[in-house]
Chains A and B, each alone.
Chain A
Amino acid sequence: EAGVAQSPRYKIIEKRQSVAFWCNPISGHATLYWYQQILGQGPKLLIQFQNNGVVDDSQLPKDRFSAERLKGVDSTLKIQPAKLEDSAVYLCASSLRTAGANVLTFGAGSRLTVL
């Protein structure tokens, strides 16, 4: 089966600019996650969707980050305006299930550098 697709793989922007990341999950996976991974740390959940509804966005900095999953398939994560501390790898993952024993399949990630 095709994996989780993400683009772009790398992005360099200056602070206060905006950036968008795209994710296409595995076909049939109802749940989609965006994680932020800062160098030296583990992935931190930003937002979790089930189909096109938000399950958890408690750790999403809503003043600058937004995400949507139209039609319950692919998703876009936007940062506007970016700050230096947003430099990280943004990981998209999907899973077949929402609750309980949910194995995550990850994409390659989008590495953001904010100058």
Chain B
Amino acid sequence: AQSVSQHNHHVILSEAASLELGCNYSYGGTVNLFWYVQYPGQHLQLLLKYFSGDPLVKGIKGFEAEFIKSKFSFNLRKPSVQWSDTAEYFCAVSTNAGKSTFGDGTTLTVKP
């Protein structure tokens, strides 16, 4: 069975600081990787995804993530965060059987 580990439970940054959120997964087969985001008062929504090809993927609002197969990692990055990036971020793994497993999330607070 697959599992997902997010290293940081709560991250606090000032505006314009750089962001990196860690995500590691455990699964021996082919995986599809996702970051979902939940802004205050809103639904969980897709931020970006990796299915195949270029391991550096770009998502909405300037976010990107890099898949490093040898490290079983899919870390999320943003060079300069904004106050509006305050949200909870979830890393998820989906197998070819279609089962999606989520990490426990990282709460990001950006101070203006």
Contacts and interface: CB of A to CB of B under 8 A. Distances in A.
Interface residues of B, number: 25
A67 to B, nearest CB: 16
A98 B95 CA distance: 10
Q: Name A's interface SS.
A: loop
Contact of B100 (A3, A33, A107, A109): A33
A100 B100 contact: no
B74 interface: no
A104 interface: yes
Contacts of B6: 42
B94 A91 contact: no
Contacts, number: 66
Interface string B40-51: 000111100101
A107 B51 CA distance: 24
Interface residues of A, number: 30
Contacts of B49: 101, 103
Given A43-B44, A48-B99, 5 more contacts: A42-B90, A56-B99, A101-B51, A102-B32, A106-B45
Interface of B: 4, 6, 32, 34, 36, 43-46, 49, 51, 90, 92, 94-105
4 closest Cβ contacts across the A-B interface? Answer: A42-B102, A106-B44, A101-B51, A99-B98
13 contacts: A31-B98, A33-B100, A41-B104, A42-B90, A42-B102, A42-B103, A101-B94, A102-B32, A102-B98, A103-B46, A105-B45, A106-B44, A106-B45
